[in-house]
């Protein structure tokens, strides 16, 4: 309930207080979570201006774990803390699920088939310019690995015996509904930290083009294998039902009334889209994006690569 923060603050109830108390409570709870739990938050709305008691406030959380029960455990704990914060601030709390991402469980049969095709295609042939840019960028961001782009294909390994936390997306949900894999192809520079400007550098270079072409070849070959060999389809479903299906039943974390939150970040997009439009690639005028930008490849800091 809003009120004048100086004239009659006793008549208001601060939603921002509820958010702060929720966050304080959650920070204390984090001390006692299993190390495989991860959580992150941002306050999306803390009120309008300082002299008005905020009637609304919003905090957005990500809750992670490597298992469905682990995710639900931490989510329910957070809900209880939110109720306690509302009681302490004499406010009301509502919650909304904006999205979910089940821990991924990929298909052994598809993975083994795809890996044979990856070996057949092999890694791209990197030029000296490709490697120079990769090593320079790795050095620029103090990456642990500054050896440049991979020249030796990795092996296919069994899943880790002890799972570790990491990134996630809704491909995890798909993987519990039908046989699924994801393929990582070498279209970016290894050793970068993710969600960082450095991860966008390679996208305008031959590195990305070479990587996506090789990835597309391996993917197309795998699709043909499953179209032409029904026994592979049967084997992948057998693994899905008899091995993966025995591990955990899939229970959606979103309900039938939870709508896709397509409005998220719309204000950011509206602000920056006009500025981005002048950088859209015009294939009718240029052969490459670097040509359109007028950038010589590779462009490095003076002094070359730091050793």
Question: Residue 39 in 3-state DSSP?
Answer: strand
Rounded to whole angstroms, the Cα distance separating 243 from 127 reads 43
Query: Are the C-beta atoms of residues 67 and 172 closer than 8 Å to each other?
Result: no
pLDDT digits 0-9 by tens, 42-99: 999 999 999 999 999 999 999 999 888 999 999 999 999 999 999 999 999 999 998 8
**Can you give the length of the chain in residues?**
307
The pLDDT, as a whole number, for residue 307 is: 43
Q: Is 102 left (phi over 0), alpha (psi -120 to 50) or beta?
A: beta
Please state, as a whole number, how many other Cβ atoms lie within 10 Å of the Cβ of residue 194.
8
pLDDT digits 0-9 by tens, 155-170: 988 876 667 766 778 8
Please state, as a whole number, how many other Cβ atoms lie within 10 Å of the Cβ of residue 64.
18
The pLDDT, as a whole number, for residue 282 is: 94
Distance of CA 5 to the CA centre of its chain: 40
Q: What is the pLDDT along the chain (307 residues), one digit of tens a residue?
A: 888 888 888 888 999 999 999 999 999 999 898 888 889 999 999 999 999 999 999 999 999 998 889 999 999 999 999 999 999 999 999 999 988 888 888 999 999 999 999 999 999 999 999 999 999 999 999 999 999 999 999 998 887 666 776 677 889 899 999 999 999 999 999 999 888 999 999 998 999 999 999 999 999 999 999 999 999 999 999 999 988 777 778 888 888 888 888 888 899 999 999 999 999 999 999 999 999 999 999 988 865 544 4
User: Of 3.30.70.360, 3.40.190.10, 3.50.50.60, 3.40.50.720, which CATH number belongs to 9-89?
Assistant: 3.30.70.360
The pLDDT, as a whole number, for residue 306 is: 47
Residue ranges per domain, the chain? 9-89, 109-252
Torsion of CA 216, 219, 223, 229, to 10 degrees: 130
Greatest alpha-carbon pair distance for the chain in Å reads: 77
């Amino acid at each position: 309930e809003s009120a004048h923060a100086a004239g009659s603050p006793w008549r208001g109830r601060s939603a921002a207080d509820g958010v702060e108390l929720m966050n304080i409570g959650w920070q204390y709870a984090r001390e006692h979570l299993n190390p495989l739990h991860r959580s992150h938050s941002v306050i999306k709305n803390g009120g309008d201006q300082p002299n008005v008691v905020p009637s609304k406030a919003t905090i957005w959380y990500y809750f992670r774990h490597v298992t469905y029960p682990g995710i639900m455990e931490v989510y329910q704990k957070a809900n209880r803390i939110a109720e306690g914060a509302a009681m302490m601030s004499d406010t009301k709390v509502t919650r909304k699920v904006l999205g979910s991402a089940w821990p991924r469980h990929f298909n052994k049969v598809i993975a083994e088939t795809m890996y044979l095709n990856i070996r057949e295609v092999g890694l791209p042939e990197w030029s000296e310019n490709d490697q120079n840019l990769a090593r320079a960028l790795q050095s620029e961001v103090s990456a642990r690995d500054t050896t440049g782009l991979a020249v030796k294909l990795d092996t296919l390994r069994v899943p880790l015996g002890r799972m570790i936390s990491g990134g996630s997306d809704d491909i995890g949900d798909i993987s519990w509904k039908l046989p699924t894999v994801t393929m990582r192809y070498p279209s970016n520079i290894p050793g970068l930290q993710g969600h960082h400007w450095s991860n966008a550098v390679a996208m305008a270079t031959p590195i990305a083009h070479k990587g996506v072409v090789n990835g597309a070849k391996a993917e197309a070959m795998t699709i043909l294998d499953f179209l032409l060999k029904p026994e592979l389809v049967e084997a992948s479903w057998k693994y899905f039902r008899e091995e993966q299906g025995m591990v955990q039943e899939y229970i959606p974390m979103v309900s039938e009334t939870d709508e896709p939150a397509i409005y998220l970040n719309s204000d950011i997009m509206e602000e920056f889209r006009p500025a981005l439009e002048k950088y859209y690639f015009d294939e009718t005028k240029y052969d490459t994006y670097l040509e359109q930008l007028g950038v010589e490849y590779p462009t490095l800091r003076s002094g070359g690569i730091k050793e």
